[in-house]
A and B are shown apart, each in its own frame.
Chain A
Amino acid sequence: MTDMDDRDTTQRAIAGDRFALEILWRDHRRWLSAVLLSHMPNGADLEDLLQETAMNVCRKIRDLRDPERLRPWLRTIAINTAISAGRSATLRRKVRTMDDTELDPADPSIDHDEDHATARDTLERVLAAAQRLHPDYREPLILKSVRGLSQRAIAEALDLPETTIETRLARARRMLRQLLEEKGVPVPPAPRTAPGT
């Protein structure tokens, strides 16, 4: 989608066009989930946060005054959703404990194959290391790894000059490499997947 298409769609969504709002969400939800991953509190569930973000976008789209600032506006909504989730973290931990009892060790979808488990561990370890970086570096790096998101789009979303983003990304890559070389990044538990998803 070109910037002009994006602007037009945004304007129509603000005016109450439901179809336009769906298109906007579809085009932006992937990187918004990466923003949530960068900011979500421990124990939070990405799917729940995304659902709440979608709801908040829907509720507040009419408050968006400048369609040119769609990306930073969406990012703010996502971050606020994550912060709000953090406030009720204790409650969520309780819910998570309940959910964990649902895991079925005999579930064939659970990966028991050693090679696959090792590969998954590697990916999860890299993501966990990225999530340990300082927020200034963490978010650009995670966003950069979302397929199709350009450095310019990241700069626009974070409301920063592109040169600043480039510098932060360059440092973030080094910091990530150093963190992984330290081998101090534990493998996080496998993310939960809702049945049927």
Chain B
Amino acid sequence: MTHPHDETEDLLIHRAVSMTAAPTDWDSLEALSERDPELWHRMAQALRDEGDLTHALDARTAIASSIGPFQSRRRGLGFGAASGWFAAAAIAACWFTTLMHTGPAVLPGASRPGTAHESSDMPGAPGLVSNQGATHGIGSPTPVSTLPDVLLGTQRAADGDGYEITVMKRSVEKVRVKDLFQLQRGQDELGNPATLPVRFPATNAMEKY
């Protein structure tokens, strides 16, 4: 059962919990408690709520210390236990999306200025490429979703008027391709990165890995 509304009591309890109660406030609390001893119970509850809320907020807002206006944020992709081909497929999707937007085909692992690869997040994961990569999939890519922008860096504008901000736009697209190839270490006799065709089992291909 809740206690009837009492503005004075609310204020006194708040001051006590906030450690801002003056000696006269404590006197008033004493006086009120003589008529209603349950007041101490309500104050204890308020103290407890304050402690719980503070701890809950500590935990939830701790993330703030890792975020800054000039810090790039590098979140793991979070695939958890899933690895191997699942991770590789993700790399392929990222890479394929890059190809779709940047033109010339560059295989994962090959260096090209301005091209980012996520392979460092998943060491050892083989890359997958489509033989239709740079030019087309079967049909148009289907937008799945967009993710919030990631701030990569900022700098003062050269002319001193404001700042230049580098932002990574993230989107997820699905596209169907005819064939997949797995990147191999080394090169073939023509100096091209070596690839092998990938054959998934007919059923539950992803479960296996």
Contact = CB atoms under 8 A, between A and B. Distances in A.
Contacts of B18: 144, 151, 169
B201 interface: no
B163 A178 contact: no
B56 A51 contact: no
Interface string A151-174: 100000000000000110111011
Interface string B129-172: 00000000000000011111111001110001011010100001
Interface string A31-51: 011100100000001111011
B69 interface: yes
B54 to A, nearest CB: 5
**Which residue, of A48, A103, A174, has the highest number of chain B Cβ atoms within 10 A?**
A174
Contacts of B56: 123-124, 126-127, 145
B148 A194 contact: no
Nearest to A103: B80
Given A98-B145, A169-B18, A147 B69 contact: no
A55 B13 contact: no
A34 B57 contact: yes
Interface residues of A, number: 66
Interface stretch (B28-36, B44-52, B96-104): B44-52
Contacts, number: 173
The interface residues of chain B, by DSSP majority, are classed as mixed
Nearest to B167: A55
A100 B58 CA distance: 24
B64 A50 contact: yes
Contact of B75 (A16, A104, A196): A196
B79 A122 contact: no
Contacts of B149: 51-52, 55
Contacts of A7: none
A170 B61 contact: no
Interface residues of B, number: 60
Given A51-B73, A191-B59, 13 more contacts: A18-B155, A21-B69, A22-B68, A30-B61, A30-B64, A32-B64, A37-B57, A47-B67, A47-B75, A50-B64, A95-B145, A180-B49, A196-B75
9 contacts: A33-B60, A37-B60, A45-B148, A52-B149, A54-B151, A55-B149, A59-B163, A170-B11, A173-B14
Interface of A: 16, 18, 21-22, 25-26, 29-30, 32-34, 37, 45-48, 50-52, 54-55, 57-59, 62, 91, 94-95, 98-99, 102-104, 106-107, 122-124, 126-127, 130, 141-142, 144-147, 151, 166-167, 169-171, 173-174, 176-178, 180-181, 191, 193-197
Interface of B: 2, 5, 7, 10-11, 13-14, 17-18, 20, 42, 45-46, 49-50, 52-61, 63-70, 73-82, 144-151, 154-156, 160, 162-163, 165, 167, 172
